[in-house]
Amino acid sequence: MFFTKKKKKRTPMTRNIYLMERNGSSWKWVLGFFFKVREIKIGVAKNSQQRQKQVDNGIKGKVVFLTEYWIEAATRTEKEIHTKYKKFKFKPPVHRKGSGETEFLKISNRQIEEIKSTLSRRSANNSDFKKVFFLFLFLIILFYYFFKFK
């Protein structure tokens, strides 16, 4: 009772959510329309390019960087995506353990586009509402001072 620890409020971290593909080639992209053949890794990192090099060195086959999104609450968003697509998870062959073999999905192009649209909607760069809100607030304040001093 006297020495209970207070739980700290955890603020959501803004990080990159990246998409990488193992053995990214054009014929696998074409087959992705019909079969679940594309092997996509979805993860969170501060530096996605550096992470791609780490994963490429640890996984058998070539790992190609596809895209990244700067997202608030990135770990929560990534977890939601992995939960939604958990039946498509698999582990590729690796050179060494702990080198990024988790978080891989075998999914189609349509599913990849769904993930990309979800991430672009949640992107921290996609803050149109915030821009419009603050512009509107600025105009109200401006008009207030303009008419107050006249």
Structure tokens at 134: 């603050």
Contact criterion met (CB below 8 Å) for 67 and 17: no
Contact 93, 62 (CB under 8 A): no
Residue with token string 């696998």: 28
11: Cβ contacts below 8 Å, ≥ 6 apart:
none
Read off the tokens for 115: 């993930």
**pLDDT tops 80 at residue 149:** no
Is residue 1 scored above 60 in pLDDT? Answer: no
Q: Give the residue-averaged pLDDT of 97-124.
A: 85
Q: Are 85 and 24 in contact (CB under 8 A)?
A: no
Q: What is the mean pLDDT of the chain?
A: 81
Sequence-distant (≥ 6) Cβ neighbours of residue 44 within 8 angstroms: 15, 16, 17, 18, 74, 75, 78
Span 61-87, pLDDT tens digits:
888 899 999 988 889 999 999 999 999
With 70 as the cut, is the pLDDT of residue 92 above it?
Answer: yes
Q: Taking the mean position of all CA atoms in its chain, how far away is CA 135?
A: 28
Residue 98 to residue 100: CA distance in whole angstroms: 6
Digit-coded pLDDT (tens) for 2-58 = 556 666 666 667 889 999 998 755 666 666 566 667 889 999 999 988 998 888 888
Query: d(Cα 76, Cα 53) in Å, to the nearest integer?
Result: 24
